[in-house]
Amino acid sequence: MSDFIRENGIDSQQVVLGKHLHLPAYGEDSVISSVFFVTGKRGSGKSWTTAVMMEEFNRLGLQFVCFDALDAHGNLPDLEGVEGLKPAIGQSVDMKALVKRLGETNKSLVIKLAGLPLLSQQELIADYCEALLEAHLGKGIHTVIEECQDFIPQMGRPISFDPIVRLCKLGRALGYGATLVSQRPAGVNKEALSQASIYLVHNVINNRDLKALDEQLSFGTDKKVVKRLLNGIAAARKGECVAYAPEYFRDQGYIVVDKIRGDRRVEHKGHNINVQAAGAHMDTNTIPTSVEEISSVEALQGFSAPEPIKALESEPISAAPLGNSLGRSESAKESFYPNLDTQPEILKNPRATEWQSETLEPSKPNYEYTTEKPEEKTSGRRSPLLAIAGTVIASGFAYSLIRRI
């Protein structure tokens, strides 16, 4: 039992996310078979919250599988009973064999998707969900999907769409639950979101995202409760979470507002990059380096958002020269930026040179600023009118001469 649970007098047989935010781990009401939706803008703490939940599952002997698209949870395999899997580019995974192994052991699994093409990620998740639904393992398994908007988007239906929706709809009867994690509620398909019974929402300020949450939470719920919920979401600070779970928080008005606990057992990999001026040295004292230091909302700032550069690292790319973030060699870099001597033919054409000089050096005005009105040019449209007038005058003159004769 952790000091946090002991000091706050919390039942150790529950999934403890905060001082007031804890959910049942065992029995018919176990959250292992529930569908969670964890959301919040970048840097608000959603990946941290998801990791705390998985650590609690591990502490309580509950099994989970995490598809880590950001490499934010790469240190969880350091826990006893958690393994890691890192498929390489072009490598397939026998998901039926993997699911069978999950049924034979109590090991949890973190699958690193970072660095794989999106289509490969979608195929891996689709194969897993289908294999899990076919297996009927007879025990609880919780599946965590980071960046779920890439797999169940509001627009489009990738290969992973139907299997994930089926897992959310049919999983509970088989003991399977899921956690969908995304920055943008508006980007996640409503068919999948409608299956969520527990919302863990960090700070959200985008109007479209708030409207998407409003649409999902308003069905069958008091509008005053939803308004209270949305107000709390828009005002939440980093690390603070608004939890909405009618099934579990009936006595609290369906809503619990709390700060997610900071006593992690492993270091969180979802750091923000400490951006500094060129030539400056990173001050390591500004970033928490141990779980003991992560005890406040401010301390969570350095661990809340995923680190884009590290999320792209993988074995095939690691051999790139240091200092080259695009993974290109120096020779490739030179060929990508050609010398001025090797110019396209259009730049060697003298006419093109003249065109460039006329464009870059516009001609001077045809008159200086003065009080006199510049001479107006005669429009070419007047010449047909003058011709017609001349013809009419000539015809009249000829007609008068004929009358006199």
- Does residue 232 sit within a domain? yes
Contact 39, 202 (CB under 8 A): yes
The alpha carbon of residue 74 and the mean position of all alpha carbons in its chain are separated, in whole angstroms, by: 18
- Give me the pLDDT at residue 151, please: 98
Cβ-count burial 309-332 (b if 16+ within 10 Å, e if not): ebbebbeeeeeeeeeeeeeeeeee
- Give me the pLDDT at residue 257, please: 87
- Does residue 116 sit within a domain? yes
Residue 113, domain CATH: 3.40.50.300
- Give me the pLDDT at residue 327, please: 34
Domain count for the chain: 1
Mean pLDDT by 10 residues, the chain (405 residues): 90 96 94 95 90 97 97 95 95 94 96 96 98 96 97 96 97 97 92 92 80 71 71 78 88 86 90 49 37 32 33 33 32 30 34 34 40 47 64 72 64
- Give me the pLDDT at residue 363, please: 41
- Does residue 315 sit within a domain? no
Distance CA 343, CA 284 (A): 46
DSSP 320-388: SPTT-TT---HHHHHHHS--TTS--HHHH-HHHHHHHHHHHSPPPPSS-S-SSPPPPPPPTTHHHHHHH
- Domain span at 228: 3-274+289-309
Neighbouring-strand partners of residue 84: 110
DSSP at 250: G
- Give me the pLDDT at residue 58, please: 97
- Give me the pLDDT at residue 226, please: 73
- Does residue 132 sit within a domain? yes
- Give me the pLDDT at residue 352, please: 34
- Give me the pLDDT at residue 278, please: 52
Question: Is the whole model's pTM more than 0.85, yes or no?
Answer: no
- Give me the pLDDT at residue 329, please: 34
- Give me the pLDDT at residue 246, please: 87
* Number of alpha carbons in the 13 Å side-chain half-sphere of residue 133: 17
- Does residue 157 sit within a domain? yes
Q: What is the pLDDT of residues 49-61, one digit of tens each?
A: 999 999 999 999 9
Task: Outline where 13-94 has alpha helix (H).
Answer: 46-59
- Give me the pLDDT at residue 383, please: 58
- Does residue 236 sit within a domain? yes
- Does residue 191 sit within a domain? yes
Give, rounded to a whole angstrom, the gap between the first and last alpha carbons of the chain. 131
- Does residue 280 sit within a domain? no
